[in-house]
Chain A
Amino acid sequence: LPPLLSSPLLSSPLLSSPLPLLSSPPSPLLSSSPLLSSPLLSSPLLSSPLLSPFVSSPLLSSLLSSPLSYPLSFLFHFSQRFTTVVPESCMLILLGLVLGGIVLLTSKKQLYQLEPGLFFLFLLPTIVGDAGYFMPARLFFDNLGAILLSDVSLCSDQKVQAGLMEFLLFGALISAVDPVAVLAVFEEVHVNETLFIIVFGESLLNDAVTVVLYKVYMSFVEVGPENVQTADYFKGVASFLIVSIGGTMVGLIFAALLAFITRFTKKVRIIEPLLVFLMVYLAYLTAELFSLSAILSMTFCGIGCNKYVEANISQKSRTTVKYTMKTLASIAETIIFIFLGISAVDKSKWAWDTGLISCTLIFIFVFRALGVVMQTWVLNWFRLVPLDKIDQVVMSYGGLRGAVAFALVVLLDAERVPAKDYFVATTIIVVFFTVMFQGLTIKPLVNWLKVPRATNRKPTINEEIHERAFDHCLTAVEDIAGLNGYHHWRDKWEQFDKNYLSKLLLRKSVYRKSELWEVYQKINIRDAISVIDQGGNVLTSARLSLPSMASRASFPEVTNVTNYLRENGSGVCLDLQVIDNVPGAKVEEESETHHFLAGNLYKPRRRQTLHDSGDHERQDREIFQRNMKSRMETFKTTRHKRHSHKKDRSQKKRRGSDVKEQDLNDKPRRNVSWQDKDPVVVPVESEDEKGEHLEPEKEEDVGITFVARKVPDTPKERPKSVPAGLEVCQSPSVAPPSPTCSERNLPWKGGIGTLPVCVSMEATKIIPIDLQQAWNQSISSLESLASPPGPVEPLHPRVSALSRLGGQRPVSYSGSGVSGSGFGSRGAGSIVAQGIARFEFPPGGEEKDEEEGALSDQEQELQPLMSSSVRPPGPPPPPPLAQGLGRRRNPCVYLRSLVTAPPPGSEPLARSRGPTQL
């Protein structure tokens, strides 16, 4: 009887009794011998010299090669010509070839090899973990059917290649589409996301299929083809199912475990990232231990835990996890490709056979294409948006083979498979061919076929709004038509998730935050602080016409410009050209609106991501209440009055120049609004988006005095930017010598005159009582910021005294002063902006600083300014330099004086002192 089950590869008791194994804790298994006998597992991980192989050559060399390769990959990234034509992976392989050649020349023996142990234990997990953790879960599951199908069918294609068992084996391993290669190439090509997810997801799951098929065929080969019985084939299929499903289960179990653990790490935030890495990696190792599909396990662990973990861990941990994972993954990727190149040079492993190689290449193409066509044909029966021919071409062309196949083929036992050398050679050629040739040509191909790319174009606001409306519309129509096939299970899952999983896995504070008064208060405190912070920034920028908007960091710009426009329409003398001339402004404004919309639009049920179940509830409640209200209103027309009245008022507000009243009306509301918005789990995507938005702005900053500062994120950077700001203060030459006319005019539009008064108004009157604590806390935080370390120490008490004296008002002043000068670092522009913000004060302002009651005096002084908020812009200054300088200086001094009150009149002194004071 063919001892199939006792063959080393399948010898683990898994096949015969998988369940007890799975349920038993892993620790005893570590020592159990039958598992260890499987060569794939035993090689590096569990055998006694566990660490030796890694400590010696591969790890060392990887350490050596990564610093070397990194600058190079940087180089590729930055040199435009290369990156547009050659994918990075190709370059890395070439580099590996060169390196390998050098090593071979010098030492005659290849020292560094891509060893399967290293690959499977360290390199692959990092890449897969990264991919799994950040995989857009929704897309993945939407396309899961496609992925699964394509996967299985494509892998089995290769069987036809040859009758021999060896060829079956080879077919299995060579047909694996490699996640690493696909990721590397497709990410650079920017195909649309559906295509990307399908191909990439397929390649991820491929691992399961490939490894299992590989093992099955391996055992067949060992047994000998003539001994294989029909039942064994079924056992093979069964083992495939067990391996893939088991791997998934392991991953999910670990995901739940991880999520559950992170529930309790509130006190030990520092270990959160570590936990994430460890658990995900543990999922990988455990699956590997059971001979289950490790990649599947890891992927599903990442996908599964992402939602809960992201909600549980702190923002800092989130950032750490994100960047560490990305870094590790790209390091691993680099190393893999370089190793591939290096090991290809070593001739001792090769045995060239042209026929085999060419046949393999042809077969790969043919079967891949065949499989894709067949499977999409089946799929299109079920898809809303069918995959068309072009997609199919790209899918089949995108089947890059890579390191997985290579590692598997190297793993072959030369004694059992005599043709191993041929296989190795062929695999290397195939990998090279697919990565190099296809990788190189896929971009032109995609261009030529006009495959819809992933658009970096930001949707316009119209599109954003309308699309959201469409989504709601579709949801409603689905409800009306009583169709629940497509989203039925998704909804079911969401219910389950909301009712059980989230309760179990999410922190209480995250899950029921809205109900907890303490949390509410905490958030209020934070809000108040950020209000002050942003108030400061607003002052700095001097662009904000409505200080009431300050509380919503992302919003001021929008209101701002639209207000300009409106005022313009109402005949106020404002030069709109100036705004249009500033290239950054419009873009920025738009992106701000996007953020705002993205944050505040109701999400339709079907588009609900897994991320925000807590939010969902609130949303449902809100909408429900609103709908009910509106229905009520149709019955009771009396209610309508109130509504329209409100509207009228707001309209009046809008046009009126009485900013004070507006402020009063808006402030409390806004404060409340913050409370809800902030603590909500921030999905990773939005973070990314933000990053994208901000980066270009930074560049724009340089030339424009329009101070495209990043109001939202500045508060975080405060400590850093303060010293930088000092630098700017110290060297006035940094500031642009002569601001252009437009630059000068811009801040005018903000109605500068009104600004400080408004801030003070909001400070005195609008802070609700329950926010007092918050204010106090923020005062103290500002004080600590304002308190200078060295010589100015004696001045500091005065600030606090002032703040106590004048109630809240001075605080907001000092806050703005501090952050204002602190953020001078944003660029020279902001200094100018400060200057402009201030320059309309009478020159006497400086002297006033000396007086104890300076602030109240100023306010009186400002009063007339405020009432005439629509003053025409100042005439373009004929002697620009002198005036500009004067303007720039005054405000600086003025602002600083609010905080630390330097000796008046002595401008150079003040400037030189600036740094120390701050």
Chain B
Amino acid sequence: MGSTNSTLSKIPNVEELMQETGFTPAHIVRLYDRFEALDKEKTGHLRPQDFGAINRLAMNPIGDRIIGAFFSPGQETVDFHSFVRILAHFRPADKKHPKDPSMPEPVNSRTSKLKFAFQLYDQDKDGKISRAELLQVLRSMLEMQVTEEQLESIADRTIQEADLDKDDAISFEEFRKSLEKVNIDHKMSIRFLR
């Protein structure tokens, strides 16, 4: 407990952070350790290269996109607070505390989880997954042996399926609709260690 407290005291505004993300002190400490391990040059910020150094990420077909999701547009680095905030998307929703209407929507709500996933597709941030964007993701997720043509027909099919307003792109609303039956809480959560 002593070490927990001493680590916590190193982080500025830790109370606020915990309040916002819902992480327990133990979580925060753990993540902080990880953050420091990634931050090889001890600058207090992570750069894309730092993420790139994680070996397994190179094996991940959409790893680059996920790294990209940690960086808000225009910024080259990410500090601990935003790091934790991003990770908080993947905290399982807590059922015990019913939603407090006065509070802003928690970062691990279904919608924000979906938003996070959506922005992985929507690279140009225009609020729509265009055909080209979908194709890019598909191309990286499907094996090499799939031909371009097949990719395209899958993409077409996908868009056609989700596209309600026939604008040949998937808006967030459509994205949400198409995943209505999926248990997002289940699929987009990680059990953070205590």
User: With A461-B154, A623-B61 known to touch, is A476 a contact of B66 (CB < 8 Å)?
Assistant: yes
Contact A479 B181 (CB under 8 A): no
- The answer, yes or no, to whether A522 is at the interface (CB within 8 Å) is no
User: With A626-B140, A654-B149 known to touch, is A562 a contact of B156 (CB < 8 Å)?
Assistant: yes
Proximity string of chain A (646-660) to chain B, C-beta cutoff 8 Å, 1 when within and 0 when not: 110010011000000
Name 26 A/B residue pairs within 8 A (Cβ), A-sorted. A384-B92, A384-B186, A384-B191, A385-B92, A462-B162, A466-B178, A468-B141, A469-B120, A470-B188, A472-B141, A473-B117, A473-B120, A478-B190, A479-B56, A480-B70, A481-B31, A481-B190, A482-B34, A483-B193, A549-B149, A552-B150, A605-B60, A627-B61, A666-B147, A673-B146, A676-B145
User: With A604-B60, A623-B61, A666-B147 known to touch, is A465 a contact of B140 (CB < 8 Å)?
Assistant: no
User: With A469-B62, A602-B141 known to touch, is A559 a contact of B54 (CB < 8 Å)?
Assistant: no
Min C-beta distance of A668 to chain B, whole Å: 11
Question: Which chain B residues (173-194) contact chain A, with CB distance < 8 Å?
Answer: 175, 178-179, 181-182, 185-193
- The answer, yes or no, to whether A879 is at the interface (CB within 8 Å) is no
Contact B137 A469 (CB under 8 A): yes
Min C-beta distance of A545 to chain B, whole Å: 11
Chain B residues near A653 (CB, 8 Å)? Answer: 149
- The answer, yes or no, to whether B51 is at the interface (CB within 8 Å) is yes
Chain A residues near B109 (CB, 8 Å)? Answer: none
Q: Which of A460, A473, A559, A630 has the most CB of B within 10 A?
A: A473
Min C-beta distance of B64 to chain A, whole Å: 6
Q: How many residues of B contact A (CB 8 A)?
A: 64
Contact B141 A485 (CB under 8 A): no
Assembled-state Cα–Cα distance A647/B135 (Å): 11
Proximity string of chain B (27-61) to chain A, C-beta cutoff 8 Å, 1 when within and 0 when not: 00001011001100000000000011010111111
- The answer, yes or no, to whether B63 is at the interface (CB within 8 Å) is yes
Contact residues of A with B, CB < 8 Å?
383-386, 457, 459-463, 465-483, 485-486, 546, 548-549, 552, 555, 558-559, 562-563, 565-566, 589, 593, 596-597, 600-602, 604-605, 619-620, 622-624, 626-628, 630-631, 646-647, 650, 653-654, 662, 666, 669-670, 672-673, 676-677
Chain B residues near A460 (CB, 8 Å)? Answer: 161, 178
Contact B61 A477 (CB under 8 A): no
Min C-beta distance of B70 to chain A, whole Å: 8
Other than the given A384-B191, A385-B92, A476-B62, 17 more pairs (CB < 8 A) read: A384-B190, A385-B185, A460-B161, A462-B161, A463-B181, A467-B182, A477-B87, A481-B87, A558-B150, A558-B154, A593-B157, A596-B154, A602-B61, A620-B59, A626-B140, A627-B61, A630-B64
Assembled-state Cα–Cα distance A459/B186 (Å): 16
Contact B149 A650 (CB under 8 A): yes
Assembled-state Cα–Cα distance A631/B193 (Å): 32
Chain B residues near A630 (CB, 8 Å)? Answer: 64, 140
Q: Which of A475, A480, A619, A647 has the most CB of B within 10 A?
A: A480
Min C-beta distance of A453 to chain B, whole Å: 13
Interface of A is mostly: helix
- The answer, yes or no, to whether B138 is at the interface (CB within 8 Å) is yes
Residue of B nearest to A466 (CB): B179
Chain B residues near A669 (CB, 8 Å)? Answer: 147
Contact B190 A476 (CB under 8 A): no
User: With A384-B92, A563-B153 known to touch, is A462 a contact of B179 (CB < 8 Å)?
Assistant: yes
- Out of A466, A565, A623, name the residue touching B156 (CB < 8 Å): A565
Contact B117 A472 (CB under 8 A): no
Contact B186 A385 (CB under 8 A): yes
Assembled-state Cα–Cα distance A440/B56 (Å): 50
Contact A600 B179 (CB under 8 A): no
Q: Which of B121, B145, B175 has the most CB of A within 10 A?
A: B145
Assembled-state Cα–Cα distance A654/B143 (Å): 21
Contact B154 A593 (CB under 8 A): yes
Contact A466 B141 (CB under 8 A): no
- The answer, yes or no, to whether B142 is at the interface (CB within 8 Å) is yes
Chain A residues near B189 (CB, 8 Å)? Answer: 384, 474
Contact B153 A559 (CB under 8 A): yes
Assembled-state Cα–Cα distance A604/B62 (Å): 10
Chain A residues near B175 (CB, 8 Å)? Answer: 466
Contact A559 B56 (CB under 8 A): no
Assembled-state Cα–Cα distance A647/B189 (Å): 36
Assembled-state Cα–Cα distance A601/B179 (Å): 19
Assembled-state Cα–Cα distance A549/B95 (Å): 49
Residue of A nearest to B187 (CB): A470
User: With A462-B158, A473-B188, A650-B148 known to touch, is A624 a contact of B142 (CB < 8 Å)?
Assistant: no
Contact B145 A626 (CB under 8 A): no
Contact A483 B192 (CB under 8 A): yes
Min C-beta distance of A214 to chain B, whole Å: 37
Contact B150 A631 (CB under 8 A): no
Chain A residues near B60 (CB, 8 Å)? Answer: 472, 475-476, 479, 604-605, 623, 627
Chain B residues near A626 (CB, 8 Å)? Answer: 61, 140, 144
Assembled-state Cα–Cα distance A647/B155 (Å): 14
Min C-beta distance of A79 to chain B, whole Å: 32
Contact B147 A646 (CB under 8 A): no
Assembled-state Cα–Cα distance A384/B193 (Å): 11
Assembled-state Cα–Cα distance A352/B175 (Å): 63
Contact A477 B66 (CB under 8 A): yes
Assembled-state Cα–Cα distance A468/B137 (Å): 11
Residue of A nearest to B140 (CB): A626
Residue of B nearest to A468 (CB): B141
Min C-beta distance of B112 to chain A, whole Å: 14
Residue of A nearest to B134 (CB): A465
Contact A596 B61 (CB under 8 A): no
Proximity string of chain B (116-148) to chain A, C-beta cutoff 8 Å, 1 when within and 0 when not: 110011000000000000000110111111111
Chain A residues near B79 (CB, 8 Å)? Answer: none
Contact B150 A479 (CB under 8 A): no
Chain A residues near B121 (CB, 8 Å)? Answer: 469
Min C-beta distance of B2 to chain A, whole Å: 22
Residue of A nearest to B151 (CB): A650
- The answer, yes or no, to whether B4 is at the interface (CB within 8 Å) is no
Assembled-state Cα–Cα distance A593/B152 (Å): 12
Min C-beta distance of A189 to chain B, whole Å: 20
Contact A463 B178 (CB under 8 A): yes
Assembled-state Cα–Cα distance A619/B141 (Å): 10
- The answer, yes or no, to whether B80 is at the interface (CB within 8 Å) is no
Assembled-state Cα–Cα distance A479/B145 (Å): 27
Chain A residues near B137 (CB, 8 Å)? Answer: 465, 469
- The answer, yes or no, to whether B160 is at the interface (CB within 8 Å) is yes
Contact A470 B117 (CB under 8 A): yes
